[in-house]
Amino acid sequence: MDVKELIKELSSLDGPSGYEKAVLELIEKKIEPLVDRVWYNKVGTLIAEKKGTGSGRLGIFAHADEVGYVVTKLEKGLFARLETIGGVDPKVIFAQRVKIYTAKGIAKGIVGVLPPHLQKEEHRSKVPSFDKIFVDLSCSELGEYVSVGDICVVDVKPVELNGKLCGKAMDNRAGCASLILAAQLLRNIRNYQDVYFVFSSQEEVTGLGAVSIAYELRLDRAIVVDVTHGDVKIPQFVQIKTGEGPALCVGPVIDKEFYSKLYQTAQRNNVKIQIEPAPGRSGTDTDEVQLSGTGVRTTLVSIPLMYMHTPVEVVDPRDVEETARLLALATTIE
């Protein structure tokens, strides 16, 4: 499997929280030949199980959903209003092409913007809220079929920038790709623990997909794979860099013993890693998975990513490959 093609393919599919079906179907197709069995749970999470040679139950999680929009109101003249699914900065949505999933198929739209010639001081001095933002549907044959409740995503195709990949939903399709690649590596590396690859739903809104599975599977350990802010200065924090390998999280939501085993595994096998402190909640599925059932020993592995939750998220495919290697090696931990 070519890592770049895999990430691009996953990024191109649309799957805002609760509507992950197309993404999960592709993942299922890719991972099924690599594992013992696959199934979905009640809340739309996909699980792929690979039995180990020893004992213990390890869940490896990546959320399959992405941030997006939902149509909340229709206006005269084929215009629609949106609200967000997950956290989106309104500053990144102007003059974007969007796709709206209607009952009759995909309608095309454009997020409108006033031209500079018609802007006044009031328009320039503050960022419009989503109440002010509108989608022009007049450029679509299906525009008249758009209804309140239809799901909307930005219409962008991934591009390559000097070997890095740029597009929407790299958060967390990059993570999903690393799980698929890890499953592939398990053809050569025998896993000691039983491994459950979990592609969870609705991380961007509540994280319920991951929590439900952690509970059902009675896991001993979990590795959550998500993305983290790369190549940007965050006051008081070490700067995580793209291209330097995955970031291992340290903090209260991380199990110290499992972390140190994972760290040593990385060291022994020359896996390139970075360390990222999370003094409280991590903002990922890890936070709740740790609290599932009688408690799960959790770690968090994050792929560095630039411009999170924008249509131009950037990941370095080498980081995705390095993450896959770390995950495959982690299954041998006793």
Partner 1 sequence: MYLKELTELDGVSGNEQQVREFISDKIKDKVDELKVDVLGNLIAYRKGTKGGRKIVLAAHMDEVGFMVTNIEDDGTLAFAPVGGVETQVMVGKIVRINGQTLGAIGYKAIHIQDKEQILKPLSIDQLRVYIGAKSKEEAARQVKIGDYVAFTTTFDQENNRLTGKAFDDRAGCSVLMDIIDKIDRYEDDVYFAFLVQEEVGLRGSAVVVEQIHPDIAIVIEGTTAGDDPELPEYQWATHLGDGPAITFMHRGYVVNKRVYESIIEVAEKYSIAHQAKRRTAGGTDAARFARTGAGTAAAVVSVPSRYIHSPVSMIDLNDYNNTVLLLQKILEQGEAFAR
Binding site for partner 1 (CB under 8 A): 75-77, 79, 87-89, 91-97, 108, 110, 112-119, 124-127, 132, 134, 136, 138-141, 143, 154, 156, 159-164, 166, 229, 231-232, 234, 243, 283, 306-314
Task: Write down the least CB distance from residue 310 to partner 1, Å.
Answer: 5
Task: Write down the least CB distance from residue 307 to partner 1, Å.
Answer: 3
Task: Write down the least CB distance from residue 237 to partner 1, Å.
Answer: 9
Task: Write down the least CB distance from residue 231 to partner 1, Å.
Answer: 8
| CB nearer partner 1, residue 21 or residue 97 | 97
Angle at CA of residue 331, ends 316 and 245, nearest 5°: 20
Task: Write down the least CB distance from residue 138 to partner 1, Å.
Answer: 5
Cα separations in angstroms, 175 against 48, 171, 217, 256, 322: 15, 7, 21, 23, 11
| CB nearer partner 1, residue 229 or residue 297 | 229
One-letter amino acid identity for 318?
A: R
| CB nearer partner 1, residue 228 or residue 292 | 228
Spatial CA neighbour of 4 closest among 182, 188, 218, 174: 174
| CB nearer partner 1, residue 24 or residue 133 | 133
Interatomic CA distance for residues 286 and 323, integer angstroms: 17
Place of tokens 């110290």: 256
| CB nearer partner 1, residue 36 or residue 141 | 141
Task: Write down the least CB distance from residue 105 to partner 1, Å.
Answer: 12
Omega before 172 cis (within 30°)?
yes
Question: What does R_g of the chain's alpha carbons equal in angstroms?
Answer: 20
Give the relative orientation of helices 21-31 and 3-12 as an angle to the nearest 10 degrees.
150
Is-contact 72 148, C-beta < 8 A? yes
| CB nearer partner 1, residue 1 or residue 159 | 159
Spatial CA neighbour of 10 closest among 28, 36, 35: 28
